[in-house]
Amino acid sequence: MYVSSSLSRNGIDNDIIDIKGQMNIDKVLAETLRLISGSDTDIIGISCLVTEIEIVEEMCRKIKELKPKTTIVLGGAQPSTHPEHFDVAKEYIDYFVMGEGEITFPELVTALRDGRNTKDIKGLAWFESGLIVKSPPRELIKDLDTLPPPAYDKVDMARYTRPTSWGVRPVPISLFWMFSSRGCPFQCNYCVAHEIFGKRVRQRSPGNLVDEIELLVNAYNLDGIYFFDESFTINSKRVIEICREIRKRGIKIVFGCQTRVDLISEDVVAALAEAGCIQIDFGIESGSDRMLKAIRKGVTVEQIKKALRLCKKYGIRIFANMMVNLPGETEEDLKESIDLMREITCNVVIWNVTVPYPGGFLDMKIEREDYRKLINFPSDEGYDLLETKYRLAQHNRNLRGLVDELHSIFPHPRYINKMRLNADYIWRCFLFIDFIFKPKYLMMLLRSRRKLQYLLDPIIQPKHN
């Protein structure tokens, strides 16, 4: 949406095909080709994640068969980190946009249409004699306030803004996702965030950000926002200013965000709570100081406890992301993680299985032919692959059995068949859904102009990706 609005600002007409989450893969391919066949487009940009490599390669092949003269450009996380992984489709892919695309892609489109040399445009890559060649890197966008708002008019906002539990998970809210900043300076060795937005943090000004919040709330009757920054609270002064501006303008919303445990303090949590924050997602990862050090998380268990207690003090729900299959993980490390989650009763605890995707600093890398097996992870095939080729932990616990066991202690709807009828489990189930008793959430429902949608059309599972 940002790339689309940047194209429009440069006088380049464009459309977005946004159907990925509405149907299965075969139908997505068929419908995409149908829409392309009915247009006179000469350039097609496709975004791609690591689990979508084979699907995108197939799409590129079919587009070229349909329209041989079309220029195909790939962008997003996987093309930016490893363009060489698309060698199977190298004859169908013309360019890769590396990193941020708001400046690079319009420059490329203009050069192609003017018949000018494209190889000097910064931030590109392409195949040449079967090998990847890169132009000089594109500088990161310094002032995010200079970007036009995302192209909300080119996607189905009625679908995206229906009440969903896939924003502030699992709280049903009519919301939209926003980036208030880009970049992450931290060194977690399993993460790829810096590959797209860099390590230098660039932040939108509070006024610019709240202008867009106001636009969204007024245009689409939103009840909430989810801030999708890697670490929303990295600048405490700025966060407090954003909260103050929301209150000053009388914007009645609830919101969620994600951040690190070492980036919150009492004044920040108090400001967030007062402005309408109902949940913070933390990447806690482990309750073992040894594991936290091994993955270069840069925090301690004591910092985790302090941060989570602050959230509980101010009535902000806690979403804890945990990891198993960490490098060198032992039974004792697992026990410390479980003990920590038992001690600090979070509202939601998600146990994720570590997969050595490209771009992080984990020593083990996924082989090209194994991507397909991980597209639908968690799956039997995916678990088998992790057990046989990509196991990082030292203990001998079966990974699928371990995750099932963990979710028999910490509730999750996907693992409802693992539920235990004891007081501790029932209490954790209540914490999972306690938002229905929270004054902020109840007031949001009373104010909402979407009451019938909340009542008649609840979305428990996401209808988009």
Q: What is the pLDDT of residues 260-295, one digit of tens each?
A: 999 999 999 999 999 999 999 999 999 999 999 999
Domain shared by 28 and 128, yes or no? yes
Look at residue 461 in the predicted model and tell me its pLDDT.
42
Which pLDDT belongs to residue 268?
A: 98
Same domain, 274 and 410: yes
Predicted pLDDT of residue 33: 94
Give me the number of domains the chain comprises.
2
- What's the order of all strands across the beta sheet hosting 71-75? 43-47, 71-75, 95-97, 124-128, 131-134
- Whichever domain contains 55, its CATH number is 3.40.50.280
pLDDT for position 417: 77
Please tell me the predicted confidence (pLDDT) of residue 462. Answer: 44
| Same domain assignment for residues 168 and 51 | no
**Residue 375 domain-assigned?**
no
| Cα 121 from Cα 99, distance rounded (Å) | 13
Interval 30-70: pLDDT, tens: 999 999 998 999 999 999 988 888 889 999 999 999 999 99
User: In which residue are the tokens 């892919």 written?
Assistant: 93
Across 120-131, b (16+ Cβ under 10 Å) vs e yields: ebebbbbbeeee
Pairing of strands 317-324, 224-227: unpaired
Residues 114 and 219 in one domain: no
Task: Give the residue, 370 or 142, on which the prediction is more confident.
Answer: 142
The SS3 assignment for 382 reads: helix
Q: Is residue 144 part of a domain?
A: no
| 432 found inside a domain | yes
What pLDDT was estimated at residue 83? 94
pLDDT at position 460 is: 41
Q: Across the chain, what does the average pLDDT equal?
A: 93
Residue range 442-460: mean pLDDT, rounded: 85
Q: What is the mean pLDDT of residues 107-118?
A: 97
Judgement on whether residues 128 and 160 belong to the same structural domain of the protein: no
Q: What is the pLDDT of residues 129-162, one digit of tens each?
A: 999 999 999 999 999 999 999 999 999 999 999 9
DSSP state of 40: -
Pick the residue with more confidence: 93 or 78?
93
Span of 21-25, 113-117, 120-124, 344-348 with lowest mean pLDDT: 21-25
Inter-residue contact 243 to 264 (CB < 8 Å): no
Query: How much is the pLDDT for 464?
Result: 41
pLDDT at 463 over 60: no
208 with 332, same domain: the answer is yes
121: containing domain: 2-134
CA distance 34 to 21: 17
Question: What pLDDT is recorded for position 291?
Answer: 97
- Of 74, 101, 134, the one marking the end of a domain is 134
Where does the pLDDT of residue 397 fall: very low under 50, low under 70, confident under 90, or very high at 90 and above? very high
Can you tell me the mean pLDDT for 86-112?
Answer: 97
pLDDT at residue 232 above 60?
A: yes
Which pLDDT does position 458 carry in this prediction? Answer: 54
Q: What is residue 122's predicted lDDT score, i.e. its pLDDT?
A: 98
